Structure 1
Amino acid sequence: MSNSKDCSDNESTSHSGKRLKKRKRTRDNLEANDSHNGCNINKNQELKHQKCKSSGASSSNKNETESRKSEKQEETISTPHASCSTKNSDEASSRKQRKTKEKCADCDGARNRAINNSEQACSSHKEVKWRKKQKSQKKKEKLSSAKKCNSDSTQEDDLVLKIPGFYYDKKKNRYFKILPSSNNVNVVTNETISFQEAESKRLKDLSNLESTSSRTDSSEHKCHKHSPPSENITTLIYRHHQGDVSKSLLEHSYHQKQVSWMKPAGTVKIFQDPDIYSNIEHMLQIDASRNSEKILGLWSVANSAIQRVQLLNLTEKPRVDTQHPLSVDINTTGATVLQSWNKITSLCWAPFSSDVDKKFVLYTTMCYTGYNFSLAFIRNLDPSSSEQVQVFDYNLGNHTTWTAAWNYHAMQFTVGAEKTCLLIDVETRRLWEFNTNKSDALAQVFAPVNGLQLYNGTRKGQILCHDLRSLSTRPVACMTHKTSIACLRMLQNGHQLFVSDFSGRLCLWDIRMRRVVLEYPSLHNEYLRLPFKIDPSESFIYGVGQNCYTNFWCLKSGKQLLSLPPPCPASIDMIPAVHYSNHWANRPGNSGLIMGIKDSLYLYSGRVEL
């Protein structure tokens, strides 16, 4: 009996030891799993915290069930070891509860830290979003202020029902039928509608030009990588003294800044005498002498077919307004030419190398009707006495004349005529006729270096180069445009040719490569021979479009510097005549633009911020 009892005791102890080992293994596995779950805390900490609690509760329930089972088995097998097993199970369960509480506390701390970090990240993200919103709102406000008028007009246009063949007048709030062109003022035509739209745009641009007392740097354009528009002239002068900026670049930057800050500086009415020939209708052409002391002008007389050629004398006057560098007095001087029976087609200066002081002028005429001959005249318009009045006339035959150009290196001039080009020697009166490929020569220019090349722009869109040293009259080079050539200009180096055509294209040709290297946008032209000019410093080019706006472009970059609206209502029949100089009245620094419209001259000058 004792042996059987001992065996039963040994078996019970071995069974209890195995149960304890199993419990330890399960506890270790649960601890390892809990520790692993506690380390991998992320944004979903609350869910993991609930899982930890549920796992702890399940483990405690399992332990309780296992302890109950072990207690029942121990009670059935042996009563003396039951108390020990219950004590061990109670201690294990208490330890497990303590560990689960500690783990839950760690989970709570990690969750709080994660919440704090997420709140900080959210706050920083909100700040970034708020700043971006502020920037976007500012940009939107600027765009809305700039596009407010356009949006209002578009909204009004959307509200107005567009009926084909009818025009809606916003002021009168009613529709008018669009009729063919008529002399009746009250009839609504396409011409009157376009004129009203152009006039409203002109008034708006003019008010913007006069209201802004100073232009921002954003309106200035960058014309060189070493001279950004944000730099003022003082900085450029300092950089020039240090050797960072060349003298030519400093001069170009100064003149371009003057143009971009150009403002109205006054008005001068020229002909005020109560004379029938002083009833001026419009100024057709303007050109200045090389020292800018004289202005050569061509006007049309109202209610007649008479044209008037007159010299204007410029003198410097004391400056009253320090904001405008242009300060001149303009008065008529010299002889007056009244041409009535022939129309003047071209007008230019014709200086003689032998008589530098005399102001000779070349102009060509064409008969209005009939079969009279076309003529070319060279006349001294500023004689000091009656003995110095000299007139040279040349018979050009039955040719329709379009343009003329003077050769400053020889006593020669050329005339662009119908399907030909004429070269005339002033002293010998010899005449040469050049081949223009059976097309009218509408624009001409001599090479400024030596005067041995002549360039003709034809109606077919060809730019023909003739070598005056050659015995052949055929062109030696040809460059083409899609439409008729309107005007030609050359730089003093003789390698760059500026060309404009009837489509409004203004471009720079390289004579050596015979290709276009640069284009200048926004010159409005449809079918007119509109001239453009280059300033004396060769910093920019300027010209008037068919919309009567004077445009300025940077010569090197091709970017538009300024678009100047006309100061009074203008039309295709009254396109302004303009000329710019940086030394009016032969005074360096006395710079500005003179614009001739009708019987008045409008002065514009630019101010440079130091």
Structure 2
Amino acid sequence: MKPRQSKSTWNRGRKEDDSNNYKPCKRFGNMGRKRRNKKRLYSDANGIRSGSTRDGAGEGSSSPRTSTDYEIPGFYYDPEKKKYFKIQPNQFSSLGHTITNQNIEKKAKEVKRKENLNRQTDKLHTHHFLELISRQELGSISSCQFQRYFIHKRISCIDNNSTQTIDVPSIHGIVEHPKVMGLNSNCDKLISLWDLTSSLAKFINIAYVTMAYSGAIEIDFEKSDLSLCAGASSIFWTEKKKSLPLHLLYTTVPFIGNTSSTAYVCKVSNQGLCGTPNSYSIGQKYIWCCALDSDYRRFSIGCEKGALLIEVETRRLWEIYSYKSDVFSTTFTHQNPCLLFCGNMKGHILTRDTRSHPSRTLTELRMKGVVTSLQLTQDDVHLLSSDALGNALLWDLRMKKVVVEYRGMKNEGTRIPIHMDDSEKLVYGCDLEGYTRFWCKNSGRLLRTIPSPVPCSSTCIPVVLYSDRWGNKAGNSALLLGSGNKLYMYKV
């Protein structure tokens, strides 16, 4: 009779057996399987399974950890410090060293922005131009299509890094951030509105734009037509004819006391202000926007709980009904400056005839969010609008419907405008994350996305301006981006 083996001998014999040939009994088979699964799933801090040795001599293979392996609810894993930090509530986001969800998202966006800046873009080569010429000679595209395709190709090849940086000086204090930038009809003067760090006032400047022999665009802030410091809240300018002086409309709001808001209309020539600006008292209302018609007869004020229409000569004032909602954007038509468009806080775009009763609405268009900007084409057929939810739409005013939608804008309740270039072939704008996007006006196709050269936030969103006639030179195309106290030029 064969003697019975001891427990230690039985265990030793079991270890010597091959794991592939071992067949557990029905009673203890599940228990052994659980032990083996637990052994496989266990891993050390370096991501090496326990089945393999630390020096890599074992049979098991090491697998790198993914980002999901480090996730613990309520904690944030810093891969640089290799530590876990408890996530604090968002009200502590103002403290830079505190780990909150907002600070984590901000850090991830900054890393993504730097990666996009270092990414190489396509270059514009001669064969692109020759290919378009050959297609035009064969008759496959027309001359208008040739110009549009060539502009789109140039826009898609803009470099991520700026080619020129311009510092903005000021005699009124340290410049903090731009609010509004634009060009006159000749594209040789830059009209801008800036915040100042030392006070609540704003800095209005009209500077000359010239083109140097080297091809660089020069903006001379020291020799400017106008350098005005005022508590301005909005600004608007228009030119009916190129020979006439520029008409400037700006509004001021009181910060202390019970004084009323004021609107100023003035003429600016090459020698500066022409006479004393005409002032108009608006009342104790905060002014969001303003617009002046091309005949210089009336101007509109978008303020709290409605809009105002004022005649320049007689100073007569009408209150425009806007469903008792704040008006954030307003504009007049170009061909016949008797129609006024107002966009309010409830998403309504209302059309008024200034010759009839101000409470009568001709048309009403609807958007999903707060209407932040309105811009009409030169023929007054299409209307470009944007809201605070990131929607950008092109309306056909004859059919009263949306014909093109521009996707990609990111916004969360901030007043961010969207623009159309002078040739009316491109639509562009900067979103809440600081990315500048270009679209084709007719098709809505996204052409280019340019990251911000500096970090940005909801309080200092970059201001962009594009033109193809900088310095009154045809074909001198460039994108101007203002952030902080600097201007960044992107040559096209």
Which has the greater radius of gyration? 1
CA contact (8 A) 1:268 1:330 kept: no
Q: 1:604 matched to which residue of 2? A: 490
Q: 2:462 matched to which residue of 1? A: 576
Select which of 343, 366, 383 maps to 1:480: 366
Q: Deviations over 1:156-187 (max 9, x none)?
A: 312213222x2221111111222233343322
User: Aligned with 1:575: secondary structure?
Assistant: coil
Q: 1:459 matched to which residue of 2? A: 345
Are positions 1:269 and 2:166 aligned together?
A: yes
Q: 1:373 matched to which residue of 2? A: 260
CA contact (8 A) 2:468 2:475 kept: yes
**Structure 1: gaps of 5 or more residues:** 1-153, 217-229, 321-326
1:247-286 equivalences under 5 Å are 247-263=143-159, 264-272=161-169, 277-286=172-181
1:485-504 equivalences under 5 Å are 485-504=371-390
Q: 1:395 matched to which residue of 2? A: 281
1:238 Cα deviation (Å)?
A: 4.5
1:132-531 equivalences under 5 Å are 156-164=66-74, 166-180=75-89, 181-182=91-92, 183-208=94-119, 211-212=120-121, 214=123, 232-240=128-136, 244-263=140-159, 264-272=161-169, 277-319=172-214, 327-332=216-221, 333-339=224-230, 342=231, 344-351=232-239, 356-382=243-269, 384=271, 388-531=274-417
- Distance in 2 between residues matched to 1:424 and 1:195, nearest whole Å: 44
Change (3 A) 1:487 1:307: same
Q: 1:10 matched to which residue of 2? A: none
| Matched AA of 1:328 | I
CA contact (8 A) 1:271 1:278 kept: no
Q: 1:594 matched to which residue of 2? A: 480
Q: 1:88 matched to which residue of 2? A: none
1:272 Cα deviation (Å)?
A: 4.5
CA contact (8 A) 1:270 1:331 kept: no
User: Aligned with 2:152: secondary structure?
Assistant: helix
- Distance in 1 between residues matched to 2:445 and 2:352, nearest whole Å: 32
- Distance in 2 between residues matched to 1:198 and 1:381, nearest whole Å: 43
- Distance in 1 between residues matched to 2:357 and 2:139, nearest whole Å: 50
- Distance in 2 between residues matched to 1:581 and 1:158, nearest whole Å: 46
Change (3 A) 1:497 1:266: same
1:292 Cα deviation (Å)?
A: 0.8
- For structure 1, which segment, 367-376 or 507-516, has the greater mean C-alpha deviation from structure 2 after superposition? 367-376
Q: Deviations over 1:339-392 (max 9, x none)?
A: 2xx4x2211214366x94433321112223443211111234555278x34312
1:231 Cα deviation (Å)?
A: 8.4
1:553-572 equivalences under 5 Å are 553-572=439-458
User: Aligned with 2:154: secondary structure?
Assistant: helix
| Matched AA of 1:269 | I
- Distance in 2 between residues matched to 1:281 and 1:244, nearest whole Å: 51
Change (3 A) 1:215 1:163: farther
User: Aligned with 1:537: secondary structure?
Assistant: coil
User: Aligned with 1:438: secondary structure?
Assistant: coil
User: Aligned with 2:107: secondary structure?
Assistant: helix
User: Aligned with 1:193: secondary structure?
Assistant: helix
Change (3 A) 1:385 1:521: closer
CA contact (8 A) 2:321 2:358 kept: no
**Equivalent residues, number:** 424
- Distance in 1 between residues matched to 2:306 and 2:272, nearest whole Å: 39
- Distance in 1 between residues matched to 2:283 and 2:167, nearest whole Å: 36
- Distance in 2 between residues matched to 1:477 and 1:385, nearest whole Å: 40
Q: Deviations over 1:26-59 (max 9, x none)?
A: xxxxxxxxxxxxxxxxxxxxxxxxxxxxxxxxxx
Percent of aligned positions that are identical: 30
Q: Deviations over 1:493-534 (max 9, x none)?
A: 212111211111111212122122221111101101111110
Q: TM-score, normalised by structure 2?
A: 0.81
Give the number of the structure whose residues are more often strand, by fraction: 2
| Matched AA of 2:163 | G
1:410 Cα deviation (Å)?
A: 4.3
1:232 Cα deviation (Å)?
A: 2.8
CA contact (8 A) 1:258 1:605 kept: no
User: Aligned with 1:159: secondary structure?
Assistant: helix
CA contact (8 A) 1:548 1:572 kept: no
User: Aligned with 1:367: secondary structure?
Assistant: coil
Q: TM-score, normalised by structure 1?
A: 0.66
**Structure 2: gaps of 5 or more residues:** 1-63
